[in-house]
Structure 1
Amino acid sequence: MSTTSLNISVIEKRMMNATEAAHYCGIAVKHFKTLCPVRPVLMPPKYKQYDRIDLDKWLDNLKADVDNASQNAILDRL
């Protein structure tokens, strides 16, 4: 029996346009620019790109705020 090996290299994008960034964050494109405080990076000559790392930080902060609110609500009930 013969065996076959397949090597696949996947490079994860770091910079995304507004549509890709909105999809990455799970937000409708039409709401992304008003909801997301992350500023795009101007890439020459005229491209505005969103850094995935900055988007991750923003999303992590949103989660932390929810977690803190939940913890405070539990403590208030005690």
Structure 2
Amino acid sequence: MLDAREAADYCGIVPKRFPAECNVTPVSMPNGQRRYDMRDLDTWLDSLKSGDASSDDDLVGKLG
């Protein structure tokens, strides 16, 4: 499980732009922290590669 900065780094996205570009919903942990599941991030990245991006933010993310 990754925090937002780690998830942005993992995806190769600038942390400041990560929330706007990545449509993966973080998981609320019992301690109140929100973490990103690497498998969810991988699924999202795979959808970008295959052209299955479904939102405008996904399409903008593909443009860089």
State if a TM-score over 0.5 links the two structures: yes
Shift in Å at residue 27 of structure 1? 0.1
2:37 alignment partner, one of 43, 51, 65: 51
Which is higher, the Rg of structure 1 or of structure 2?
1
Paired residue secondary structure (2:36): strand
Higher strand share: 1
1:28 alignment partner, one of 14, 31, 39: 14
RMSD: 1.2
In structure 1, runs of 5+ residues without a counterpart are 1-14, 67-78
In structure 2, runs of 5+ residues without a counterpart are 53-64
Higher relative contact order (CA 8 A, sep 6+): 2
Paired residue secondary structure (2:17): helix
Identity of aligned residues (%): 52
Paired residue secondary structure (1:44): coil
Q: Does 1:16 align with 2:2?
A: yes
TM-score by length of 1: 0.64
- In the TM superposition, structure 1's runs of 4+ consecutive aligned residues that sit over 2 Å from their partners are none
Aligned length: 52
